[in-house]
Structure 1
Amino acid sequence: MARKNQKAPWEPEEEIIWVSKSEMKRDMEALQKLGVELVDLSSSTLKKMPLSEDLLDAVLDAQRFKNEARRRQLQRIGKLMQFEDAEQIQAALDKIRNKHSQNTAVLHKLEQLRDRVVEQGDAAIDQVMELYPEADRQRLRQLARQAAKEKSSNKPPRAFREIFQILKQLNDEAL
């Protein structure tokens, strides 16, 4: 006669995964931190995120609350996050952050191009014309000369800034 607690040898054993209480707390804290990041976003950005209606309402409420009510609301958001796809939300947040860093990198490249236009003159303007054929070569030359003159006489860099604005506008139109 077989024992009650023993399985028959032909039945496969199920693997039991034990999760410690500390690990569960760490997971919950990670979800709460993700919720805090959501609360810091603007409402227009939040509406683009893959959030359920309940979670979106909770996040919008947390943005209005102060002190203890905010802390409790953040805990509630952490609990609601258990039923959401945290990886998908994290991916959307990363995409938003990366978009900001990409814009910063583009602006740095435009600043470097502007510096070359002022320092090198026609050689750099030719590069600009290759990148942006619709650019006004004559206006760029004029501004480059003015910027060099302003720099040598320690005047405010008005032409220098105008070159950057022109390059930024050309870049925006090219996109």
Structure 2
Amino acid sequence: MHKHEESEDSYFVSKSQKKRDMDALQDLGKKLTEYGPARLKKVPMSDNLREALVEMARLTANGARARQLQYIGKLMRSEEIGPIQAALDVIEGKSHAEVARMHRLEKLRERFLEDETMLTEIGNLYPAADLHRMRQLRRNAIKERSENKPPKAYREIFQILREMEEGGVATEHPHHHSEDEGHDHAGHHGE
């Protein structure tokens, strides 16, 4: 009798574990639906799953989307989950790195607007920078702020910093990462 109780317990454990595994597959499938086709190209998966995800992007009716999501969850059962998860981790890591880069550039722009001597640091970071143009944009951005005008020069400073960094002209500089790097300034990327 004691043996029978043990097998009954392990049946329930394995049944609940299966449920957790199915939920995890469903969640991973749902996560895949949040990415566009360009990003999904980098994720290894079967053609059936890829087609189901493309179809999901086309659907607009909630009922149809719910059925498609269930179908995607079913397809996930036959997928190699490890490579899919690894590819998503890379994609998400890149987006986190991109957000951190944007924050860093925003902070550099703010420090530059507060203190013109930051122009020297910008010149050290980006030797190809047109410092005369940057100084002029700084004056314009400050004027725009004081007159409540659209932030055209403010945005252009950000664009120039981003282009210089993407162009690979930046050299690593100890002051490039500000000491308050952990603070969140979300909501004004490139603005």
TM superposition score category, shorter chain reference: 0.7 to 0.9
Secondary structure class of the residue paired with 1:145: helix
Structure 1 residue aligned with 2:27, among 7, 30, 33?
33
Residues 169 and 82 from structure 1, CA distance in 2 versus in 1: closer, same or farther, beyond 3 angstroms? same
Residues 140 and 69 from structure 1, CA distance in 2 versus in 1: closer, same or farther, beyond 3 angstroms? closer
Q: Is the 8 A contact 2:112 2:119 kept in 1?
A: yes
Secondary structure class of the residue paired with 1:130: helix
Q: Is the 8 A contact 2:43 2:83 kept in 1?
A: no
Residues 149 and 53 from structure 1, CA distance in 2 versus in 1: closer, same or farther, beyond 3 angstroms? closer
Structure label with greater radius of gyration: 1
Instruction: Tell me how far apart the structure 2 counterparts of residues 19 and 62 of structure 1 sit (CA, whole Å).
Output: 33
Residue of structure 2 equivalent to 1:109? 104
State yes or no: 1:146 paired with 2:146.
Answer: no
Q: Is the 8 A contact 2:26 2:72 kept in 1?
A: yes
Q: What are structure 2's unaligned runs of at least 5 residues?
A: 1-9, 170-191
Alignment length (residue pairs): 159
Residue of structure 1 equivalent to 2:113? 118
State yes or no: 1:53 paired with 2:47.
Answer: yes
Identity of aligned residues (%): 48
Residues 127 and 54 from structure 1, CA distance in 2 versus in 1: closer, same or farther, beyond 3 angstroms? same
Q: Is the 8 A contact 1:39 1:59 kept in 2?
A: yes
Q: Deviations over 1:88-127 (max 9, x none)?
A: 2122122222222211111111111111222211x21111
Residue of structure 2 equivalent to 1:160? 154
Residue of structure 2 equivalent to 1:8? none
Q: Deviations over 1:17-65 (max 9, x none)?
A: 9962121111111101111111222122222211111221222233334
Name the amino acid aligned to 1:36.
K
Structure 2 residue aligned with 1:93, among 65, 72, 88?
88
Please show how residues 4-43 of structure 1 align to structure 2 within 5 Å.
20-43=14-37
Taking structure 2 as the reference length, the TM-score comes to 0.72
Instruction: Tell me how far apart the structure 1 counterparts of residues 83 and 114 of structure 2 sit (CA, whole Å).
Output: 47
* Cα displacement (A) at 1:87: 2.4
Residue of structure 2 equivalent to 1:64? 58
Instruction: Tell me how far apart the structure 1 counterparts of residues 150 and 40 of structure 2 sit (CA, whole Å).
Output: 41
Instruction: Tell me how far apart the structure 2 counterparts of residues 129 and 72 of structure 1 sit (CA, whole Å).
Output: 56
Q: Is the 8 A contact 1:62 1:74 kept in 2?
A: yes
Secondary structure class of the residue paired with 1:107: helix
Instruction: Tell me how far apart the structure 1 counterparts of residues 29 and 95 of structure 2 sit (CA, whole Å).
Output: 20
CA RMSD of aligned residues (A): 2.4
Residues 115 and 71 from structure 1, CA distance in 2 versus in 1: closer, same or farther, beyond 3 angstroms? closer
Q: Is the 8 A contact 1:110 1:168 kept in 2?
A: yes
Q: What are structure 1's unaligned runs of at least 5 residues?
A: 1-15
State yes or no: 1:76 paired with 2:52.
Answer: no
State yes or no: 1:134 paired with 2:120.
Answer: no
